[in-house]
Structures are given as C-alpha cells and as structure tokens.
C-alpha cells in the first residue's frame, strides 16, 4: 500500500461521519428547524453504540443502539422546540451539553475496551487493483451507506412529493399551515431523522474510526456537520464535497504533524476548524442573502386555534 | 333568456351553497365575531366589507377551517358541516386566495401549486393540469420559474390557479386587488365574472368600494365583529357603504390644491443606485423636486424601486454623491438617517412592525427610534423616561391611537392604530421634509382618512411631503403632483388635475415609458 493510498483511505474514514451527520442536519434544517445539538447526539450515538456492541458482542446491535440513542436525544429536543415552542438555538446548545455529559456517564464502564475492525468489502480482482482498488471497492458498509444516503436524501428532497412537503414547511411555515400542511408532524419526523443520522455518525466514530470509546471523542465533529450544512447551501451534493474537504483537512493536519514541518501542532489541529470559519465567511460574502437558507429556519411555530 | 331566468329561479329555491349561522369567535376577552350570519348562493359574487379589526379575517379563517368557531353552525348545501382544517374545507369545495399570498419564495411555480394538491398526484400531473387551467381562464404563468422572480400580479395568478385546480364551488378572495395595477385588476374581474357565470360562488373581501359596486351583487358589512347590514352594493353609493362600515359619516380629505408655491425643500439630482439585495431594483437617474407646501405622490406597482428610493432618501443607504439628495439646499447624500433628521427631515417606512416600530417595545420606547438624535428625549446618554411617556401620550391623543392599557407593546396595536402612531411620531416633530412610503397600506378607511388629512395639513404649513403609494385613489385624493416609478425610473411629475387614472395606470405597467421619456426631453 502506498502512502498516498493510505492517506486517501483515512480521508474516507474521517469524512464519512461528517457526511452522515451533515445529511441528517440538512434534512432537519430544510424542515425549518435548527438543531445545534448534533455534537451531543453524536456523543450519545458513540457511547451507546459502543456500549451496545460490547454488551451484545455485535457491531450491528451497536449501530442500532447508536441510532436509537440519537433518535431518543432528538426526541427530547423535538418535545422542547415543537411541543413547547422553545427557542431552538438555546435548546440545541443545551442538548449538546446534555449529550456530552450523559455520554460520559454511559460510556464510563467501557473505557479501555476495544472492538475488532469491521469487515470491509472484498471483490477479488477489483479490490486488488492498484491505488483505486481499496479506495472504491474495499470500504466498510458505512461508507457505501453514507453515499447511498446522500443520493437518497437528494432524491427525496427534490424528486418526491413528501420532499416537497418538507421543503415547503421549511420555506414558509405560515403559508404551509394556511394550506393545511402538517407543519409540526413534518418537523418532528425531520428532527428524528436528524437524530438517527447523528447517532449513526457517532456509532461510526467509536466502532470504526477509533474502535474504542473515550469521553469527548466527537471533538467538535458535530459542529463541523452543522457548519457543513450552511457551507453546502442546504444541498446534499454540496454536503458531500464539504464533508470530504473537511475530512481531508483533518487527516492532512495529522500527516503534517507527523512530518514535523515546523508549525506548532496546535495550529495544525486547529486547521479544520479554521477552514470551517473561512469557508463560511467566504460563502456569506459571495452569495449575500440568497444562500438558499430555508425561510422559516429557526422560527418556533405556534398555530393559532 | 327564459332558460337563464328559470335556472336563476331554481337556484334561488335551493338552500344557499354555504350558510353560516350565529358564528361567534372569542379570543380571550375579545369577541372577534359576534353571532355572524352569512349566506352565499352558487354563482353569486358576494362582498364582505368592514374596517380593519371588524372581524373579516377571523370569519374567513373559520370558513377555511383555520380557526374553529366558539359557537355557531355552518351549513354546506343545507347540510351541517364541521370544518376541522383547510383540507376539510378544500374537500368540500372551498378555495382560498390569500391577501399576503401563501406562496413559497424559493420553490418553483409548479412546486407551489403541487404543495396544495393531494399527495397522490405527481408533479408532472399537477403541471399538466395547471397548464390546462391556465389556458382555460387566460391566466398565463411560467411553471418552472421560482416565485421570488415574479411580480405581485403573477403571484396572484398562481394562487388563483392553485385554487381552481381543486374544482372549488366557493372561492374566497382576500383583498385581491391591493397589489395590482388597474389593468391587472380589470383582468382579474373578467376572470371572476367568468367563474361566477359557470356557477362558482365568490366571497370577495375588499376595501375598495368602487370595485365592490362594479363586481358584487350582494354585500355583508361587518363592524366590531357584528353584521350591521346586508345590502345590494349596486343600489347604494360608495359613500353610504363607507358610512355603514365606519359607523359615522366619512369626511373627505380637504386638499386645498395649489395653495402655495414654496421654495424647493427636497431635491434629488441624477440619483442612480445599484440594488443592495439579490432581488432588488436598480434606481436609474432619478430627478425630483418637492417644494414647501406641496404633496408629491409617487405611484407604482410594488417592487419597482420604491423601497430602494425610500432607503436612498432616508439615508438608510447612502446615495453616492452628496449632491444627489439635498434637504433645504444642503447636500445630504453622504449623511446617515440621524444627520438628515437633524436637518429637519422625517421618514415613515413601509413596514410599521419591525421597521417603523419595534414589535416588542412599548410605545414610549418606540418614540426613541426616530427621535433619539433630535433632542428632548435623551440626556448625557440616558433616556428621559418621563419625556418619552409624555411624547407617546401626546401622539396617542393627537392621532386618536386606540390601544389597550396605558403603554402597550407595539405589536398589540391593530395595523391602522400603529400606523397612526408611527406617522404621528414623525408629524409631531413638524419636519420640513417628510418622506412616507405606503402611508395607509392595510389601514382601515377611518384611520386612512385621518393620516391623509394630517399629511396634507403638514404640507399646507410649509413642509415638503413626498408620498410613495400603490394606492392610486390615495394619490389622486391628496397629491398636488404625481410621478410614476417603473423599473427604477421615475416619470416626470405632472399636476394631478392633468392626469387620469388610466394614464397613470399605463405608466405603472411601463407601457407608456418610452413615450414618457420623449416628453421629458
């Protein structure tokens, strides 16, 4: 395996959780709800996913536990912002703090445990191709699932009537309500979907990326996923590019540190986050108001009766 | 002919298409609808009239299932029904064209129409049906364009097509002509008459009584939540109808035209500005002069540069060269809003909530918005609370602002009362120059008359008043000269007496634009 191939492979591994979490948040935001709790939901997914995999000795069971943890955390968020029409920004921040804390509690007994690597695709002939073989035909199931998810979300949002319903609710909640569209039900489902994706992304981190659990292991990836949605102008295709761009930044800073190029390690570790801020600044300068942001994003909805 | 009569007689014997009996809706301590009876027959164009706050919107929301009545019964073709939501109303055959358009800006026309259709229909089927209806009723639209690129008239066509696709037997139109040019309105009337002739019932809500008298065969008038009369509007004068709506006889605005030829107080020279927003309008070479003592009116269809012109005149956007805008002979193009106010100018923006007033602030606090820099309310950085309260009280008394409580939050006032407050706040400063954008938009007849009279009075005291409005009746009533803004260009102002509504309407559509520039040279 060449060094280039090794780097490319780690880029894919680093990008996959970002892509999955960003797609979930993208759907949530398209319905008009801003959930800043992605980091907390990911942490819950990572802790519960890892705990489930150890307890049932099954990666699949772990993944399901991770997804369920994400859904449960997002259900709490949905109750607060839909049921009680609370401020979404404050509720999302609280969810992040809660998720990080609670995941530490759940994961504490599993510190020090390790999981074996998950199975990778192996097609004789194709997987053995030089350079591209492992990259395209030797990934784990999560990677292929994340790509299908990206296509599926794009198809759902822009090709189906249900997707139109979701976009309409996010674009103008008052209009949607006056047409009799079920604003709150659509948003509930979108929030739960976002939670499931964040939980899956978290489970990927603890079961595939590191294969152990440690407190705070999400280390800001949830925030990058939130930023990616803006970066992607709420489009799944752009979310794919963004996720791989930031995945690459994460990996390259590690290699840059290893190569000892004379820049302090702290500055290099900050690279992905600096890249996020720079990307957001450049985008908001370039496109001004017409960013494609859902019109009702972040606004609580209370129907009058 | 006899067949038609027979059909009409048969209709008259049937129970009405829809009959609302004793509809009452209570919000807290407010009785918005108080035992309202309303019946509409198939093929009838029925007007629902009333001032703002009379309970029209509440009644319409009940009719469309958006609100549930506290009391009362609704019968559809004689059968009692319960309208649990818009879907239930649509299933019966009730369609709605909203005043503020229930459209989705970033979606295409086809998607906007599909959003209201049953989920089984594919986007292609919806588009095909929309094309069919659009051809049948002469309502051209481009199905693939995003809504934000369309004019108000085009947007309304989408609403109407969306409504017609559901084969409605009753169509409710809420203030449909408030955003249309006279020509667009005329086309709408033709469509509505065609619909009524095919047996569709129409409930038509409007402030414009001449329209109602031209179009409607019966009218229900609401005042303070009650039905005060059901009349044939063709048999009664607009003045009498207005009297029924307000409860007292209306006074005409006393314009006393051509009273004084004062010195130029607001001068704009060759003002050109690129738009600030993605969907904005470029201002091109605008020249205008407003003299002390006169009211200059600027007509135009929404979105032709009114907002941009207002921003440039008020200083919310700097106008490039200092000489582009002059107040009392001083170049102010480079000065901000507060500096222009200090020179004696005042500004009333179009949006009262969020631009003219802070919704969640109390009225006394809202006095500070435009008067913090012109003295009397602030001392060494501290707000003089007593002074703001006294000023708010003076505005409330002078302009008859009706409210609940001593110092309520701005958002709790009705549109007309808040507008009186915002206009009053500026007029009481006795500004030398007043620029006001849409002074009576969505304001009831009584409040509108008061505001117009106050603006005319201000001009007659020697101030220069510039009124930007989409309401031609308003401009003809109060302006000494009228210019038209279209696609960011301003026509040469002409004395109101020399103009006809049709001529102004043509300029508003841009049809006479080339002719207008020839005249100007």
Write the DSSP symbol of residue B496.
G
Q: How many CB atoms lie within 10 A of CB A81?
A: 27
Beta bridge partners of B94: B170
In this predicted structure, the answer to whether residue B517 has a pLDDT above a threshold of 80 is no
| Tokens read off for B35 | 């035992």
The lowest-confidence range among A57-61, B61-65, B179-183, B199-203 is B179-183
Beta-carbon contacts of A244 under 8 Å, excluding residues fewer than 6 positions away, are A11, A12, A15, A19
Is the Cβ pair B116, A161 closer than 8 Å? no
Kindly report whether the global pTM for this prediction surpasses the value 0.90.
Answer: no
Assess whether B164 and B295 both reside in one domain: no
Same domain, B266 and B414: no
Tell me the pLDDT band of A189, cut-offs 50, 70 and 90: very high
Show Cβ contacts of residue B275 under 8 Å, excluding neighbours closer than 6 positions: B281, B282, B308
Query: Cα–Cα distance between B434 and B247 in angstroms, integer?
Result: 32
Question: What is the pLDDT averaged over residues B320-333?
Answer: 92
How far is Cα A181 from Cα A188, in angstroms, rounded to an integer?
A: 13
**Burial (CB count <10 Å: 0-12, 13-18, 19+), residue A278:** exposed
The answer, for A295 touching chain B at a CB cutoff of 8 Å, is yes
Q: Which residue has the tokens 């308003």?
A: B474
The pLDDT assigned to B10 comes to 54
Look at residue A185 and tell me whether its pLDDT is greater than 90: yes
Q: Which domain holds residue B96?
A: 12-246
Q: Is residue B409 part of a domain?
A: yes
Q: What is the CATH number of the domain that holds B478?
A: 3.40.50.300
Task: Please identify, among B415, B430, B445, the residue that sits at the C-terminal boundary of a domain.
Answer: B430
Query: What angle (nearest 5°) sits at the alpha carbon of residue A258, between those of residues A254 and A262?
Result: 100
Residues B340 and B389 in one domain: no
Query: Which residues of B sit within 8 Å Cβ distance of A?
Result: 64-68, 85-87, 89-90, 96, 98, 101-107, 111, 114-116, 119, 121-123, 277-279
Instruction: Answer whether A178 touches B (CB < 8 Å).
Output: yes
Q: What is the pLDDT of residue A51?
A: 96
Same-domain pairing of B198 and B271? no
Instruction: Say if residue B361 is in the same domain as residue B377.
Output: yes
Q: Are residues B264 and B119 in the same domain?
A: no
Least confident of A73-87, A104-118, B98-112: B98-112
Does residue B519 sit in helix, strand or coil?
helix
Average pLDDT over residues B201-227: 88
Question: Which sign, positive or negative, has the C-alpha torsion B354, B358, B363, B365?
Answer: negative
Q: Minimal CA–CA distance to B119: which of A165, A219, A80, A147? A: A165
Residue B485 has pLDDT above 70, yes or no: yes
pLDDT value of position B514? 43
Instruction: Give the mean model confidence (pLDDT) for residues B144-162.
Output: 83
Contact B122 A161 (CB under 8 A): yes
* Percent of chain B residues past pLDDT 70, beyond the cut: 91
Q: Which of B115, B123, B148 is the best mutation test for A, with the most CBs of A within 10 A?
A: B115
Interior angle at CA B451, CA B450 and CA B457, nearest 5: 90
B107 closest CB neighbour out of A162, A168, A174: A168
* pLDDT score at B8: 54
Helix (H) or strand (E) holding B71: strand B71-76
Residue with the bigger pLDDT between B178 and A96: it is A96
User: Within this chain, do residues B447 and B504 fall inside the same structural domain, yes or no?
Assistant: yes
Given B85, B96, B106, which is nearest A171 (Cβ)? B106
Q: Is residue A295, in this structure, part of any structural domain at all?
A: no
Of the three residues B228, B246, B264, the one that is the final residue of a domain is B246
pLDDT score of A217: 92
* Residue A69 confidence (pLDDT) above 90: yes
DSSP state, residue B412: G
Give the mean pLDDT of chain B.
85
Last residue of a domain, which of B246, B267, B296?
Answer: B246
| Average pLDDT value for residue range B20-26 | 92
pLDDT reading at B78 higher than 50: yes
B279 and B176 fall within a common domain: no
Q: Do A168 and B279 touch (CB under 8 A)?
A: no
Separation in Å, CA A29 to CA A166, A167, B235: 10, 9, 55
Q: For residue range B40-58, list pLDDT tens digits in order.
A: 999 999 999 887 678 888 8
Question: What's the confidence (pLDDT) of residue A291?
Answer: 58
* Integer angstrom CA distances of residue A19 from A168, A276, A281, B308: 24, 14, 21, 41
Q: How far apart are CA A37 and CA B475, in angstroms?
A: 53
Instruction: Encode pLDDT of A192-212 as tens digits.
Output: 999 999 999 999 999 999 999
Tell me what pLDDT residue B310 has.
94
Most B CBs within 10 Å: which of A179, A287, A290, A303, as the mutation test of the B interface?
A179
Binned at pLDDT 50, 70 and 90, residue B5 comes out as: low
Residue B436 scores a pLDDT above 50: yes
* B275-313 pLDDT per residue, tens: 876 667 889 999 999 999 999 999 987 778 888 999 999
Residue in B with minimal Cα distance to A166: B115
Q: How many other C-beta atoms lie within 10 A of the C-beta of residue A264?
A: 9
| Total number of domains constituting chain A | 1
Per the structure, the count of domains in chain B is 3
At A305, which helix (H) or strand (E)? none
> Across residues B74-85, what is the average pLDDT?
91
Residue B515 covered by a domain: yes
Tokens encoding A50: 């890892």
From the list B86, B103, B114, the residue facing A180 with the nearest CB is: B86
- Highest-confidence segment of A26-40, B153-167, B238-252: A26-40
Query: Which pair of tokens denotes residue B63?
Result: 């009719």
Residue B416 has pLDDT above 60, yes or no: yes
pLDDT of residue A274: 82
Residues of B in contact with A177 (CB under 8 A): 66
pLDDT number for residue B248: 63
Q: Is A47 a domain residue?
A: yes
What is the arithmetic mean of pLDDT over A18-35? 96
Cβ atoms of B158 and B103 within 8 Å: the answer is yes
Q: Are residues B437 and B426 in the same domain?
A: no
Please indicate whether residue A305 or residue A105 has the higher confidence score (pLDDT).
A105
Q: How confident is the model at residue B253 (pLDDT cuts 50, 70, 90)?
A: low
pLDDT of residue B101: 67
What is the tens place of the pLDDT at every residue in A119-138? 888 888 888 887 777 788 88
**Out of A115-129, A236-250, B53-67, B112-126, which region has the weakest mean confidence (pLDDT)?**
A115-129
| Residue B269 included in any domain | yes
Asked if B61 contacts B67 with a C-beta cutoff of 8 angstroms, the reply is yes
**How confident is the model over B92-107, as a mean pLDDT?**
84
User: Domain for residue A100, yes or no?
Assistant: yes
**Which tokens go with B427?**
């007029």
Q: How far apart, in whole angstroms, are the C-alpha atoms of residue A293 and residue A224?
A: 17
Q: Residue B383 above 60 pLDDT?
A: yes
Single out the residue of A105, A83, A85, A98 nearest to residue A36, CA to CA.
Answer: A98
Sign, CA torsion B129/B132/B135/B138: negative
Distances (CA, A) of A270 to A16, A223, A244: 20, 14, 17
What is residue A304's three-state secondary structure?
A: coil
Nearest to A172 by CA among B353, B441, B147: B147
Q: Which of A222-226, B362-366, B469-473 has the lowest mean pLDDT?
A: B469-473
CB proximity list for A103: less than 8 A, separation 6 or greater:
A40, A43, A44, A46, A47, A48, A215
At B9-21, the pLDDT tens digits run: 555 567 899 999 9
Please give the Cα distance from B517 to B521 (Å, whole number).
6
Q: Which residue in the block uniquely carries the two structure tokens 């029409």?
A: A85
Task: Answer yes or no: is A203 within a domain.
Answer: yes
* C-beta separation of B319 from B325 below 8 A: yes
Judge if B181 and B75 occupy the same domain.
Answer: yes
Provide the pLDDT confidence category of residue B255 given band limits of 50, 70 and 90.
low
Rounded to a whole number, what is the distance in Å from the CA of A186 to chain B's nearest CA?
13
Residue B2 in any domain: the answer is no
Residue A275 inside a domain? The answer is: no
Does residue B337 share a domain with residue B299?
Answer: yes
Confidence of residue B520 (pLDDT cuts 50, 70, 90): very low
CA B311, CA B110: separation in Å to the nearest integer?
Answer: 34
- For residue A167, what pLDDT is reported? 95
Given a cut of 90, whether residue B331 has pLDDT beyond it is: yes
The pLDDT-based confidence of B404 (bands split at 50, 70, 90) is confident
**How far, in Å, are A294, B287, B291, B315, B320 from residue B326 at the CA level?**
41, 11, 12, 11, 12
Residue A88 has pLDDT above 90, yes or no: yes
Q: What is the pLDDT of residues B312-326, one digit of tens each?
A: 999 999 887 899 999
ipTM for the predicted complex comes to: 0.82
* pLDDT tens, position by position, A275-291: 778 877 776 676 544 55
More confident residue, B512 or A151: A151
Owning domain of residue A211: 16-221
User: Using 50, 70 and 90 to split pLDDT, how confident is the model at A305?
Assistant: low
Best B95, B106, B307 residue to mutate vs chain A (most A CBs within 10 Å): B106
Contact B99, B174 (CB under 8 A): yes
Q: Which residues contact B458 (CB under 8 A, 6 or more apart)?
A: B427, B430, B431, B434, B465
Say how many residues make up chain A.
Answer: 305
- Asked whether the predicted pLDDT for residue B151 surpasses 80, the reply is no
- Cβ-Cβ contacts under 8 Å, A288 against chain B: 277-278
Structural domain includes residue A9: no
Distance CA B284, CA B275 (A): 11
Per-residue confidence (pLDDT) for residue B521, from 0 to 100:
34
pLDDT at A276: 73
Report yes or no: A137 and A127 within 8 Å, Cβ to Cβ: yes
Is B349 domain-assigned? no
- Helix axes of A141-159 and A183-204: crossing angle, nearest 10 degrees: 160
* Domain assignment of residue B334, yes or no: yes
Please tell me the distance from the alpha carbon of residue A7 to that of residue A232, in angstroms, as a whole number. 24
Does the beta carbon of A284 lie under 8 angstroms from any beta carbon of chain B? no
For range A87-105, the mean pLDDT: 96
Cβ of B101 within 8 Å of Cβ of A175? The answer is yes
Q: Do residue B88 and residue B192 come from a single domain?
A: yes
Does pLDDT of A57 surpass 90? yes
């Amino acid at each position: 395996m060449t060094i280039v191939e090794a780097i490319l492979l780690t880029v894919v591994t680093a990008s996959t959780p970002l892509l999955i979490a960003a797609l979930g948040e993208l759907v949530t935001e398209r319905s008009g709800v801003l959930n800043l709790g992605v980091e907390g939901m990911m942490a819950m997914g990572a802790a519960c996913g890892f705990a489930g995999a150890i307890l049932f000795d099954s990666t699949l069971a772990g993944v399901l536990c991770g997804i369920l943890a994400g859904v449960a955390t997002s259900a709490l968020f949905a109750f607060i912002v839909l049921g009680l029409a609370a401020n979404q920004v404050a509720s999302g921040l609280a969810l992040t703090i809660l998720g990080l804390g609670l995941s530490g509690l759940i994961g504490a007994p599993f510190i020090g445990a390790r999981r074996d690597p998950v199975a990778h695709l192996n097609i004789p002939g194709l997987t053995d191709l030089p350079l591209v073989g492992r990259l395209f035909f030797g990934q784990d199931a999560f990677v292929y699932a994340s790509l299908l998810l990206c296509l599926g979300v794009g198809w759902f949002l822009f090709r189906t009537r249900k997707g139109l319903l979701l976009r309409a609710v996010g674009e103008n909640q008052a209009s949607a309500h006056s047409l009799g569209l079920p604003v709150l039900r659509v948003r509930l489902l979108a929030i739960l979907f976002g939670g499931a994706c964040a939980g899956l992304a978290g489970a990927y981190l603890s079961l595939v990326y590191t294969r152990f659990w440690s407190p705070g292991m999400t280390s800001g990836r949830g925030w990058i996923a939130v930023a990616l949605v803006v970066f992607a102008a709420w489009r799944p295709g752009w979310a794919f590019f963004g996720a791989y761009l930031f995945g690459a930044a994460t990996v390259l800073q590690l290699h840059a540190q290893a190569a000892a190029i004379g820049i302090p390690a702290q500055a290099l570790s900050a690279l992905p986050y600096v890249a996020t801020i720079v990307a957001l600044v450049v985008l908001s300068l370039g496109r001004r108001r017409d960013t494609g942001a859902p019109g009702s994003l972040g606004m609580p909805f209370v129907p009058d009766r | 002919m006899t067949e038609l009569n027979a059909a009409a007689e048969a209709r008259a014997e049937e129970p009405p298409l829809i009959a609302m009996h004793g509809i009452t809706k209570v919000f807290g301590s407010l009785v918005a609808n108080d035992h309202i009876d309303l019946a509409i027959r198939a093929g009838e164009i029925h007007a629902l009239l009333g001032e703002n706050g009379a309970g029209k919107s509440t009644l319409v929301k009940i009719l469309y299932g958006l609100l549930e009545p506290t009391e009362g019964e609704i019968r559809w073709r004689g059968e009692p029904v319960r309208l649990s939501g818009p879907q239930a109303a649509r299933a019966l055959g009730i369609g709605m064209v909203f005043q503020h358009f229930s459209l989705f800006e970033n979606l295409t026309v086809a998607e906007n129409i599909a959003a209201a259709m049953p989920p089984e229909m594919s986007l292609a089927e919806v588009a095909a049906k929309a094309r069919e209806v659009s051809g049948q009723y002469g309502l051209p639209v481009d199905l693939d364009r995003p809504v934000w690129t369309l004019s108000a008239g085009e947007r309304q066509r989408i609403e109407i097509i969306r409504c017609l696709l559901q084969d409605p037997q009753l169509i409710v139109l809420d203030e449909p002509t408030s955003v249309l040019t006279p020509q667009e309105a005329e086309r709408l009337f033709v469509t509505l008459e065609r619909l009524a002739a095919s047996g569709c019932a129409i409930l038509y809500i409007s402030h414009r009584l001449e329209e109602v008298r031209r179009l409607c065969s019966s009218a229900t008038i609401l005042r303070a939540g009650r039905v005060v009369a059901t009349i044939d509007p063709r048999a009664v004068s607009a003045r009498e109808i207005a009297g029924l709506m307000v409860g007292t006889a209306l006074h005409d605005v006393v314009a006393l035209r051509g009273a004084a030829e004062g010195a130029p107080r607001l001068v704009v020279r060759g003002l050109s500005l690129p738009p600030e927003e993605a969907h904005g309008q470029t201002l091109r070479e605008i020249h205008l002069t407003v003299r002390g003592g006169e009211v200059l009116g600027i007509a135009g269809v929404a979105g032709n540069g009114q907002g941009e012109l207002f921003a440039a005149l008020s200083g919310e956007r700097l106008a490039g060269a200092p000489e582009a805008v002059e107040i009392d002979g001083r170049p102010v193009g480079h000065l901000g809003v507060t500096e222009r106010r200090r020179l004696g100018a005042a500004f009333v923006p179009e949006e009262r909530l969020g631009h003219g007033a802070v919704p969640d602030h109390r009225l006394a606090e809202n006095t500070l918005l435009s008067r913090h820099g012109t003295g009397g309310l602030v001392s060494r950085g501290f707000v003089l609370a007593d002074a703001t309260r006294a000023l708010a009280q003076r505005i409330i008394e002078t302009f008859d602002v009706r409210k609940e409580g001593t110092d309520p939050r701005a958002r709790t006032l009705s549109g007309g009362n808040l507008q009186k407050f915002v206009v009053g706040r500026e007029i009481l400063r006795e500004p030398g120059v007043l620029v006001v954008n849409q002074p009576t938009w969505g304001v009831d007849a009584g409040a509108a008359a008061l505001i117009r009279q106050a603006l005319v009075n201000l001009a007659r005291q020697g101030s220069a008043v510039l009124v930007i409005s989409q309401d031609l009746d308003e401009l003809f009533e109060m302006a000494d000269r009228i210019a038209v803004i279209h696609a960011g260009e301003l026509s040469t102002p002409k004395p109101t007496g020399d103009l006809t509504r049709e001529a102004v309407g043509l300029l508003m559509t841009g049809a006479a634009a080339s002719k207008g520039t020839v005249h100007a040279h």
